[in-house]
Structure 1
Amino acid sequence: MTLETFTAIRGIYHGYRPPAPGAPTLVFANSLGTDLRVWDRVVQLLPTEWGLLRQDKRGHGLSIAADTLDIETMASDVATLLDHYGITDFIGIGLSVGGLIMQRLALRHPQAMRKLVLADTAAKIGTPDIWNPRIDAVRANGVASISDAILARWFAPGYETTEDFAMWRAMLERTPDEGYAQVCAAIRDADYTADLARITQPTLVIAGAQDASTPPDLVRATAEKIPNSRFVEIDAAGHLPCVEQPKRFVELLSSHVTN
């Protein structure tokens, strides 16, 4: 078994595991306020011969921040890693803002991206009336000042009583304030609704049934605009079903990848 190798390329911190011959490569993009470890529970359940590429967005985790940031730049960072490893055949998997990133890569690399998985995301997420106060609060008082409200939207009711909850709070609150604010602004300014009909990849669209950040109806509406898509809700999960229900997430992912 080949383990992931963690390193940085042009300031983008990432982990890579090459696939065995004939096995697929999965490329992950994370949600706002998380780093590549948000996929740990999924990765542990995947076949060991499958290839993996996951990375920290700019201003998150160990990746170097940028002066300015938008969705196109974050998609270009992933493309840099694809080029570095010579990955020309992959499945794109995006969670929340990572879903916006993967929507762009699906259109930029229609031959290389074989299939697409979008989780708890949409083509347009929120409005300036939602994002601007959050950006102002983070820049004035830091991510920790809004963490209670954010965490309440991340998880299904009851998860806050688990031992793991403090770990996810720590991940969120240790996100650099400006990096978090920049990604908020990137989400605010993105609207790819008109491009959904151009996505040609077979697409699995997942929503946590208790997601308060991107509610299931919003995610379902996104799926309905993608020509070859399937929508599935995961019970007992909020905005991060890969954390709360990793076995179910992997069941759906594996079926989509192999069929």
Structure 2
Amino acid sequence: MGSRIFYSLIALLIITTGTVFAQEPLISVQTDDNHYDEGDTVVVSGNVKTVIGETPVILQLFTEGNLVDIAQLTVAQDGSFTKTFLAEGALWKKSGDYTIVASYQEHQIETEFSYAPKSEAIETTEPYEVDAGSHGTFDVEYTIKGGTVKNMVVDSDIFAVIVQIDATDEGTITLDLPREFIGAEKQDGKDDTFIILIDGIEVAYQESVVNSDSRVITINFEQGDSDIEIIGTYVVPEFGTIAMVVLIVGIMATVIVTRNKLQIKI
């Protein structure tokens, strides 16, 4: 009885071990992103577990069953390989899913990514009415690619405009910031740099246009990003239109009271 149990356990161990080894592919492959737009660089990398002499890895790129590109790669001594494809040209016209097939001897593995040509890239350009609380509202012209703008609000405590986005893909947003309501200035009145935070992390930005009325900045974002904070040295100046009216009314009231007092004394 004991022998039967022993041999049964040995057989089970062999089957289990064989299954584990069978589940481990000899070759792996992946891309550096899940989506690309026309003009992007597709970086493909992978690894083979066992290097077999000078056997190359064959990469084939397909969409809807049509061959888009093919490459033969030399495998490094550590089993790694890499290849870049430029996503443009006559064969990169269709949007949708693209499949990379990596072959090493009789072994194959696949990975997919999505692609969109420029003609189908969604880009939105329109003004957004920003709520400035007691100061009313003001418009910010913007262009966004790779997502949509959900809201823009003022945070006067940190001198910021916060842009809330739904980033369905990596993309960019360009904002035309009116100097009357938000700006970044040095003590001498010259332009200073904005501080840009995306979900609490500081990022760089590009400034393309600077004029007397506004500053135009462009910010890159990643898929899944949500809050973009544009922090300056002022936002909705304390003495805006409403505050100025209140100030003038207060000065006029003070003048009238002063005159009345003088007349009473006389």
The interval holding the TM-score normalised by the smaller chain is under 0.3
Structure of higher RCO (CA pairs closer than 8 Å, 6+ residues apart): 1
Structure with the higher fraction of residues in strand conformation: 2
Structure with the higher fraction of residues in helix conformation: 1
Between structure 1 and structure 2, the one with the greater Rg is 2
